[in-house]
Structure 1
Amino acid sequence: MEQIWIDNLPDDVPAEIDVEEYDSLVDMFETSVSRFADQPAFVNMGATLTYRKLEERSRAFAAYLQNELKLEKGDRVAIMMPNLLQYPIALFGILRAGMVVVNVNPLYTPRELKHQLNDSGAKAIVVVSNFAHTLEKVVEQTQIESVILTGLGDLLSAPKRTLVNFVVNISRRWCQSSIFLMPFP
């Protein structure tokens, strides 16, 4: 097969990669966050998350999972959120803790969510508040022991965070929640 895209790669991007360069995905992550510490890793709704902040927050989240929630290596942790700055923090925090990431579509119906959580064996879930009403309907029928709730605007600047979370909270007031709520670190 002709690989026509190779001619369009930037000069500093090799056409082949060394798959033996890193011992694990976490090793590659830690090397990258060290190398690019002050560069933007992710940008969302005008907020920037640098590699340094990603490293710090994912490490703190990994410690939270291990020390506070008492999850162990190999445990499954679901992430039910769209593309937000919290996603890579949760993803790399889970991986750094030696746990398994279970990606969950935030648009799942309660039946679909229940099936995926039970099928995966997830013990914890990180969910954005505006999708918590779906989880609430099935959480007691799953193996989920811990729910970590984050707001849509939690990692935005103070004025934007307040406004975004206020609007989301108003829209979910009529959805009373009985699940344990924990703010995202």
Structure 2
Amino acid sequence: MKHLFKNIKFYDLANSLAKAIENRINNYDKSKFDNNTIENLTEQLVEEFKIELPEIKEEAIYQNKPSDTKIRHSRRESYGRNTSVDGTKYTLIIPFTGDSTMFGIFPSSFTSVLPYGIIESDELKVVYEVPVGQDATRIKVDFDNNLGTIKKYLEFLAQDITDFNLKLEPSIKARLERRKDKLDNDDEIANTFGFPIK
């Protein structure tokens, strides 16, 4: 089972998006501003680059039918060879809406425990494999704890996302204004040369 919220720090994601926005605006030419207002361009870019928090559908959690499985584990006394035992696989599934990649973002606030699961499309799967004869009653307790940790990390991310999105509009608008000013200034200087611009 893979840990969630550990692929990339939110700080790095925010910097990456800021660079993408800057590159996009720096590629705008004069015609972009002639055909659009700064307000319209700002609105378009905010809509494209704002971050949305995924929302888990706790009331829709379900499980697959338990299935037989072979559980592999290595034993030192077997000189590193893998052995397997019979067991049962229990798969509990948490549906969600929104951007699945956000489950890989490490927030600015965090705890010492990372939640775990497998992201597939718009579902988060939590799989337990229990050898035959072992107690499986702790699965529900473990699942509830893991779900609670997932929700806590989404709360941490929500704060980061809110801060980022609040700064997005004024930041984009300021970048657009600087770009337009530069293009206007470039044209003014070029016009002083006295040659037609083609």
Short-chain TM bin: under 0.3
Per chain length, whose mean CA-contact separation is higher, i.e. which structure has more relative contact order (CA < 8 Å, sep 6+)? 2
Question: By percentage of residues, which structure has more strand?
Answer: 2
Indicate the structure (1 or 2) with the bigger Cα radius of gyration: 2
TM-score (norm 1): 0.24
Question: By percentage of residues, which structure has more helix?
Answer: 2
